[in-house]
Amino acid sequence: MWHCSLFTSLQPTSCRLYYTGIIQDGLPSREASLLYADVCSSSLPPPDAELSSKPLLFQAPGAHPRETSLAASLLRERMRMEYSGISDLKVDVDTGCILVLMGDQLLHFFDNRADSCPSSLTLSANSAEGPVSGVTRPTLIPVSSPLQPAICPVNPYLVAMVSDIDLILAAVPRPTTVAGVDASPNPPAIVNLTNLPSGAALSAGSPAFVIQEEFDRYVGFWWRPRSETNSAGNNVYWLLYEETDESMVDITYLPRSGAWGAELEPHRYPKPGKANATSTLKLVRFEMGRNNEITEVRKMTLPWPLFKLLPDFEYIVRAGWTKDGSQ
């Protein structure tokens, strides 16, 4: 897993490559670490040369493996993702914001030196030599079994994700420094944006099983790529999301994830010749005040059901916003 970022606004000739690897302090490790390599177009290495890989983040203090939910386990199977170590990596190329999903623990931090060219002075994260210069202390986002975390494109301190059947928002506090050192971050504010009733076979932000299997779409929510400021001075943000209704889908009982006994969990699993899940698109709008509090969370539906607009509609294959966020 890797992510290449070109920070054209800071250093046009610099590129930083992020990826996961299993080498720690030069030795093989069972747990993958987040590594990076810097490349400068002004001093490209020979084609047969190996990039100088450096660790950016190891297992963060306080991040311990937790039991994985059935939904998370099944999604990782379909996506061929790792069950332990780093299973997801998101990078915002404009701000250097990084999300790392380690098992069921979601970490949020910034790499503020992503515009620099390779340097022998770079140190290993969490090593005896000290942290990587410019990398902020990771903030743990305390959400149970987070899936498909996404950074807000206009505010890197806002992170949306799916947890169980709901769409969840985390508002991460801005890092503070004490005597030039990152202070221990305050816990993020966690807001349930959808609050769906349990037992209603509804879910928000997660595509139906058939969409994941047949169309390789695993994400069911999309940030609007712009925000607005209202008359009260609050910033207004929008998320488009898919709400899935599996009430017509047969229930299958599968072994409980992480359990050694015969305990079973119910799971909606479509069978040949039987009904599939149905989906519709909705919007959620919220405001962020000057003190970073989340207020005025509102869910909105389409003025007309998709079945009336598109009588032959069966699946939502793709969805999203236009580049300017106007539609």
Could you list the pLDDT tens digit for every one of the 327 residues in the chain? 444 443 333 455 667 888 777 665 555 455 667 888 887 767 767 777 777 777 887 554 444 455 566 666 777 777 666 656 777 889 998 888 999 988 788 999 998 775 555 443 333 333 333 445 678 888 999 998 899 999 999 999 999 999 989 999 999 998 765 444 555 567 899 999 999 998 888 999 999 888 888 888 989 999 999 999 998 889 999 999 999 999 898 888 877 665 556 678 788 888 888 888 889 999 999 999 888 889 999 999 988 878 788 888 888 889 999 999 988
Q: Which of 184, 147, 137, 183 is nearest to 168 (CA)?
A: 147
| Contact (Cβ atoms closer than 8 angstroms) between residue 98 and residue 159 | no
Token readout for 274 is 């039987």
For residue 205, give the 3-state DSSP assignment.
Answer: coil
Helix, strand, coil share of the chain (percent; to 5): 5, 40, 50
Distance CA 201, CA 80 (A): 26
pLDDT of the residue at 77? 72
pLDDT of the residue at 10? 40
pLDDT of the residue at 83? 59
- The helix (run of H) or strand (run of E) holding residue 72 is helix 70-79
Beta bridge pairs of residue 28 = 23
pTM of the full structure: 0.82
How wide is the angle at C-alpha 109 spanned by C-alphas 103 and 115, nearest 5°?
Answer: 125
Distance CA 237, CA 297 (A): 10
Token readout for 295 is 């207020």
256-278 b/e (C-beta count within 10 Å ≥ 16 → b): bbeeeeeeeeebbebeeeeebbb
List of residues 6+ apart from 265 with CB closer than 8 A: 70, 253, 254, 255, 256, 257
pLDDT of the residue at 26? 54
Distance CA 204, CA 147 (A): 12
| Contact (Cβ atoms closer than 8 angstroms) between residue 105 and residue 124 | no
For residue 253, give the 3-state DSSP assignment.
Answer: strand
| Contact (Cβ atoms closer than 8 angstroms) between residue 248 and residue 277 | yes
pLDDT of the residue at 55? 80
